[in-house]
Amino acid sequence: MVHCLATGWSGRGATLFVWPNSPVPATPYETWSTAARVIQDAVDVAQAGDTVFVTNGLYAIGGRPVNGGIVTNRVVLDKPVRVQSINGPAKTIIAGMEGTSSYNNGHGDNAARGAYVGDGAVLSGFTIQDGHTQVYGLDPELSGGGALCEANGVITNCHLANNAAFHFGGGASGGAILNSDFSGNTAGYGGATYQSSLLGCTLRNNVAGYGGGAAGGSLSRCTLTGNAVLGPFGGGGAWAAGLVNCLVVSNTSLTYGGGVTGGSLTNCTLVGNVAGLRGGGAYNATLVNCIIHFNSAPQGTNHMYSTLDFCCTIPKPDGGTANITDDPGFIDQDAGDYRLSIRSACVEAAIDFDSITNDILGFVRPVDGDVDGIALPDIGAYEYDAGRVDSDGDGATDFEEGIMDTSPTDPVSYLHIATVSIGFPATLQFSSSSKRLYTLYSTPTLGLPVWSVVPGNADLPGNDGQQTFTDTSKQGIRFYRIEVRKP
């Protein structure tokens, strides 16, 4: 399964500007002194390939319906243009509006959606908030409280918050969404997104009847946390969606699938999800190379009615291939660090997919984690790499501990100078390994240090105990460091 996202943006056209305090707005809005005050005014005069730059402000007026509908869109990108904020989501806000039918939770007449993003258009660097939809009519009128996107419309680097859709996609419906986050959105299906393609996004604290985070669509390298579903078919994090390299943690469902219901998951980590009835982690889903641990439900603590292969979970599922029941060996679960430690049985225990070349953080997958000369992928969302992981928290990566021949699972086992005796001669004691050679260097300053070998202290063999360096030179203040290598 492959999920591909591309903006295809050439950016070769004219540049237009929007500033809410523009002194003299004048078309074609090509300078800051003549910038438009309303985003839609600039978009309307822009041509295909143009870029509209928007500076700080709250943009809560303007826009229009699209495709014969009646819901106002605060910003309508109905041509292939790029609308880009200058200073990002914290400074630049597009605000929709509740409708006048208060009994429909803000939906209905006079409601305003945040944005419409048509094919080939890009919306980048905004907070999109408080958007709402209609309660009757065709689905597009009921969907995408924050943003309604066509299949090739793109949203990137945006924060979509507190939007609501009567039907599909409280935050966004459709489109390709990159490096954005969703929080506090609500909908019937997909509190954050519905049938969208997501890459590098965070879905947090969204609520829906089906799929608290996402309903349908594809998610790659995403984090889904704190989402909730209140409907009968579950999917606290996601419902009927395809997830690759995703972290699904602490989502809830009143019924089925605290983490996910339905859909397919590859190289995902599902932890701490809760279902009121069945399938704390996953219900009726297909999972490959996934960790499903520490979830809860009255039936099917971690999984139920699901197909699992090359997964780490308990209990071991009936059927399936190469599943294991070991503790996943996270770095620090209590602190929310779900990377694998060197202790993890999940390292190099997954099946390789040529289409999956990165983990959730974008690091290369697979890596030769057990240093046996063969690189195989790991189970879960994170690929173990000894050069990036400090399994015991002692300040040295597991790779460095391998060089030092110290234990990567013992926080007091690392190369360090234990004692220093100042005088003549100066002596330094350190814990050593008989499988390593040690050299003592010194420098008179740390400002622009020039390190040189202390005479008589090169390639001293270790002894599996306290070893001692001796500096017999009569020099002033000295700073020392120890180099270790294999013989």
Same domain, yes or no, for 423 and 366? Answer: no
By the 8 A CB rule, do 203 and 226 touch?
no
Same domain, yes or no, for 45 and 89? Answer: yes
Average pLDDT of the chain, as a whole number:
92
**pLDDT-wise least confident of 68-72, 197-201, 343-347:** 68-72
Same domain, yes or no, for 336 and 439? Answer: no
Q: Is residue 102 part of a domain?
A: yes
The model's pLDDT over 232-251, given as tens digits with 9 standing for 90+, comes to 889 999 999 999 999 999 99
Span 257-278, average pLDDT: 98
pLDDT value at 316 more than 70: yes
pLDDT value at 349 more than 70: yes
Span 272-285, average pLDDT: 98
The model's pLDDT over 290-305, given as tens digits with 9 standing for 90+, comes to 999 999 999 999 999 9
Same domain, yes or no, for 143 and 232? Answer: no
Domain count of the fold of the chain: 3
The model's pLDDT over 96-120, given as tens digits with 9 standing for 90+, comes to 998 776 545 666 678 999 999 999 9
The domain boundary, picked from 160, 179, 210, lies at 160
* Short-list 262, 222, 271, CA closest to 239: 262
The domain boundary, picked from 110, 135, 160, lies at 160
Q: Is residue 179 part of a domain?
A: no
Token pair for residue 155? 């949203």
Give residue 107's pLDDT.
Answer: 64
Q: Is residue 472 part of a domain?
A: yes
DSSP per-residue codes, 76-95: EE-SS-EEEESS-TTTEEEE
DSSP per-residue codes, 302-352: SEES-EEES-EESSPPSS-SS-B-S---EEEGGGTEEEEPTT-TTTT-SPP
Residue type, 441: Y
Give residue 139's pLDDT.
Answer: 79
Q: Is residue 97 part of a domain?
A: yes
Q: Say if strands 112-117 and 147-149 run parallel, antiparallel, or are unpaired.
A: parallel
Phi, psi of 419, deg, nearest 5: -140, 150
Same domain, yes or no, for 375 and 425? Answer: no
The domain boundary, picked from 383, 402, 434, lies at 383
Same domain, yes or no, for 142 and 274? Answer: no
The model's pLDDT over 396-422, given as tens digits with 9 standing for 90+, comes to 888 888 889 998 889 889 888 888 887
pLDDT value at 2 more than 50: no
Give residue 136's pLDDT.
Answer: 74
Q: Which residues constitute the domain of residue 461?
A: 417-485
Q: Is residue 432 part of a domain?
A: yes
Q: Say if strands 417-421 and 57-59 run parallel, antiparallel, or are unpaired.
A: unpaired
Q: Is residue 291 part of a domain?
A: yes
Give residue 110's pLDDT.
Answer: 80
Same domain, yes or no, for 340 and 428? Answer: no
Span 200-214, average pLDDT: 98
Same domain, yes or no, for 379 and 421? Answer: no
Give residue 20's pLDDT.
Answer: 96
Same domain, yes or no, for 21 and 94? Answer: yes
Give residue 477's pLDDT.
Answer: 83
Same domain, yes or no, for 256 and 148? Answer: no
The model's pLDDT over 418-447, given as tens digits with 9 standing for 90+, comes to 888 877 888 999 999 999 999 999 999 998
Same domain, yes or no, for 60 and 143? Answer: yes
Span 257-272, average pLDDT: 98
Q: Is residue 199 part of a domain?
A: no
What pLDDT band is residue 385 in, cutting at 50, 70 and 90? confident
Give residue 416's pLDDT.
Answer: 87
Q: Is residue 188 part of a domain?
A: no
Same domain, yes or no, for 35 and 119? Answer: yes
* Short-list 135, 128, 195, CA closest to 166: 135
CA 419, 423, 424, 426: dihedral to nearest 10 degrees?
20
Q: pTM of the entire structure? A: 0.86
Which DSSP letter does residue 434 get? T
pLDDT value at 350 more than 50: yes
What pLDDT band is residue 281 in, cutting at 50, 70 and 90? very high
Give residue 101's pLDDT.
Answer: 61
